[in-house]
Amino acid sequence: MALWGGRFSDGPADAVFALSRSVHFDWRLAPYDLRSSLAHLEILQSSGLLTADVAGAIRGALLELTAEVATGEFQAIASDEDVHSALERGLTEKLGDIGGSLRAGRSRNDQVTTDLRLYAIDHMLEVATQIINLQEALIAKANEYADAPAPGFTHLQHAQPIIFGHEIAKHAHAFARDLDRISDWLVRTSVSPLGSGALAGSSLPLSPEKTAAALGFTSSSANSIDGVSDRDFVAEALFVLAMVGSHLSRIGEEWCIWATTEFGWAKVADAYSTGSSIMPQKKNPDMAELARGKAGRLVGNLTGLLTTLKGLPFAYNRDLQEDKEPLFDSIDTVLLVLPAVTGMVATTNFDREKMALAAPLGFSLATEIADYLVRAHVPFAHAHEAAGKCVALCESSGRQLHQLTDSEFAEIHPSLQPDVRDVLTVHGALASRTTIGGTSPSSFAEQIKSLKELVQSDFKKFNDKKRAFSAMMGQ
């Protein structure tokens, strides 16, 4: 059923209808559209624009439709243009002409962006929950390897020894920032555009603040033109999702590297691996690769929307219909990847022995020599130079740092006493990195303790918000 047409002598050409139509993707806004219609109905009734009888009938039909949409009993049909027209068809099928009453004081322009905000809030809260699940898996895995030395890398070259748990835990911190971003985003997104009308507000006695509160928003739009035009919340959500995707991708990349025969550190569980159709021996870390690969489309969705928005005059333009598919796709993608990566992390085992053997390789203890000299009051530039000479001598003579003789050490720098060998152990190097956030067992224990507290409080925060949102949706 068309929501317009009074001034037209002819209906839209087939190609026009096909291009205009959005119901095949915006149908997922139906529950939110119905909920915001109920809020709008309250105001139409309380301001006396609808009688109690009419409002009661519409309320009953909206609630029926809500149930029928949930079960799939009511669905969009080929002639519906968008979710709003499909649901108005549903109302008029039930109620006759009064089904069209809800359009008073409201335009699809404020309606669609209100629906999209509600959809986005609902789903970003789910993303937050899934991120927390992944953080919990990362923390558990990090704890499992709290005492496992491994080489740490810069430039993918051995740099300094680290505790492998420290390596795993770093990812949980990246996701903590994503949760922070979702919290910030929720504050800015909690503004209801309902009441902005087509662009100029309404001459009817509506109360946008009341509808805003009924829908769980903190406030209503302070400028009706901005209200219908603002898609910052979509762009920001797409950025947050792209950032989450990038963090997932970086986990994927590490898992791929660690699972190579050359590294041989990671044993990815069968349930999270795939085989090859031709090479019977293959076990590939496809989940890690897909986590990496999906990041591309998440970045693409963000740049696509920013390109749509750039240069768009304010107030509603049909270009804005293009805001939905990238958001839906990014949310679907992230909600698909997060549980798979969580499972992969939780079920991967690492070869402690291989990692421990690799920890001191590549002269990864050279910094210990430099730090030893600094403690003997040698300026760092000289200390660095001397440690470099030790490495060069080892390289040319096929030895490890602790194998240099007392006189070789002394010749390179007089402050290099035989006790320098005390710091040339992986264990000693790890134990000495006691700065906050460092890789020493004591710093790591502190890190995990506060990380757990953070995740717990985030869990509570997002769970409360989810509960409040569900309560609002169920009224």
Using CB under 6 A as the binding rule, whether residue 112 contacts ligand ARG is answered as yes
Helices and strands (H and E) in the chain: how many: 18, 6
Q: CB of 321: closest distance to ligand ARG in angstroms?
A: 4
Using CB under 6 A as the binding rule, whether residue 109 contacts ligand ARG is answered as yes
Q: CB of 435: closest distance to ligand ARG in angstroms?
A: 52
Q: CB of 278: closest distance to ligand ARG in angstroms?
A: 46
The number of beta carbons lying within 10 Å of the beta carbon of residue 396 is 8
**Alpha carbon distance 207, 222 (integer Å):** 13
Active-site option among 155, 203, 396, 407: 155
The number of beta carbons lying within 10 Å of the beta carbon of residue 455 is 21
Which residues inside 143-182 make contact with ligand ARG, applying CB under 6 A? Answer: none
Active-site option among 276, 397, 457, 470: 276
Q: 63 or 312: whose CB is closer to ligand ARG?
A: 312
Q: 108 or 166: whose CB is closer to ligand ARG?
A: 108
Q: CB of 140: closest distance to ligand ARG in angstroms?
A: 43
Interface size with ligand ARG, residues (CB under 6 A)? 10
Q: What character string, x for contact with ligand ARG (CB under 6 A) and - otherwise, covers 300-319?
A: ----------------x-x-
Q: CB of 323: closest distance to ligand ARG in angstroms?
A: 7
User: What does each C-alpha distance from 302 to 37, 308, 423 come to in angstroms?
Assistant: 30, 10, 49
Among 33, 82, 136, 368, binds ligand ARG (CB under 6 A): 82
Q: Is 384 marked active-site? A: no
3-class state of residue 400 by DSSP: coil
Considering only 57-65, 105-113, 240-248, 355-363, which stretch makes contact with ligand ARG by CB under 6 A? Answer: 105-113
Q: 29 or 182: whose CB is closer to ligand ARG?
A: 29
Q: CB of 177: closest distance to ligand ARG in angstroms?
A: 32
Q: Cα torsion for 198, 201, 202, 206, to the nearest 10°?
A: 120
Please give the single-letter amino acid code of residue 408: E
DSSP class of residue 312? P
Q: CB of 216: closest distance to ligand ARG in angstroms?
A: 22
**Tokens representing 397?**
């003579």
User: What does each C-alpha distance from 464 to 36, 129, 176, 294 come to in angstroms?
Assistant: 21, 11, 18, 30
Residue 349 host element (H or E): strand 349-350
User: What are the two backbone dihedrals, phi and then psi, of residue 445, each rounded to the nearest 5 degrees?
Assistant: -60, -40
Q: 321 or 333: whose CB is closer to ligand ARG?
A: 321
Which residues inside 321-340 make contact with ligand ARG, applying CB under 6 A? Answer: 321
**Tokens representing 68?**
């029928």
Alpha carbon 73 to its chain centroid, in Å, reads 33
**Alpha carbon distance 133, 175 (integer Å):** 11
Helices 324-347 and 232-258 cross at an angle (nearest 10°) of 30
Q: Is 276 marked active-site? A: yes
Q: 31 or 360: whose CB is closer to ligand ARG?
A: 31
Using CB under 6 A as the binding rule, whether residue 320 contacts ligand ARG is answered as yes
Q: How many residues does the chain have?
A: 475
**Alpha carbon distance 418, 317 (integer Å):** 77
CA proximity to 119, closest of 467, 469, 471:
469
Q: 80 or 236: whose CB is closer to ligand ARG?
A: 80
Q: 112 or 256: whose CB is closer to ligand ARG?
A: 112
Q: Which sequence positions are flagged as catalytic? A: 155, 276
Contacting positions for ligand ARG (CB under 6 A): 22, 26, 82, 108-109, 112, 316, 318, 320-321
